[in-house]
Amino acid sequence: MEPKPFLEKLGSKVVSKLAYFGLTWDQWAKFAKMTRSLDYGCNFGTGKSICSQSKYYKNTKGMCCCGNCLSHVGYIRLVPDDEEIIREIASLFSEVYGFWRAKKGCVLPIKYRSSTCIAYRCCEARDQRNKTMSVGFSAEALEQMTLYFLETLRTSELSNIQMRTIIKELIK
């Protein structure tokens, strides 16, 4: 998609020098990068997405939890104030699937993903993990705690200042 229609689709006041929660785009990129190694439970690369038969998200495109990416424009509320980056983001947006691609999942670089998408996990995977959540400080337990923290951030009533403070502490 071309940048101008993409920005029109997003609506007004999305181009910003600051990212989500008042962080700089560099701070947001560091935080987003931290989430890259987390298992969101999607398994897109295997062609056997854990929620392909989900009781949560049945849709004709087989997009599971990402089924609303198109209608919500990737849940993007902000984009960097940089024409090249806007062009890059817009070029990845499909008018059929949004940023989602079969057997790949989201093609939008993680540093540009919305706070909603970074904190969202497959509902089926979350339910399975919650049943077997372990205690301890293994790498798996740390990942589980991080995923739980992201879920809490996504669903809580924390202010932007509280969110920014927590994320700044995490990226130190």
Q: What string of pLDDT tens digits covers the 172 residues of the chain?
A: 999 999 999 986 789 999 988 889 999 998 888 887 776 666 665 555 555 545 545 554 556 667 788 888 999 989 999 999 999 999 999 998 899 887 788 899 999 998 888 877 665 555 555 555 444 445 666 666 676 667 766 666 667 777 778 788 777 7
Q: Which residues of 72-108 are buried (b: 16+ CB within 10 A; e: fewer)?
A: ebbbbbbbbeeeebbebbbebbeeebbbbeeeebbeb
The rounded distance, in Å, linking the Cα atoms of 145 and 148 is 5
The helix/strand/coil state of 15 is strand
Q: How many CB atoms lie within 10 A of CB 56?
A: 13
Q: What is the pTM of this model?
A: 0.73
153: Cβ contacts below 8 Å, ≥ 6 apart: 115, 119, 163, 166
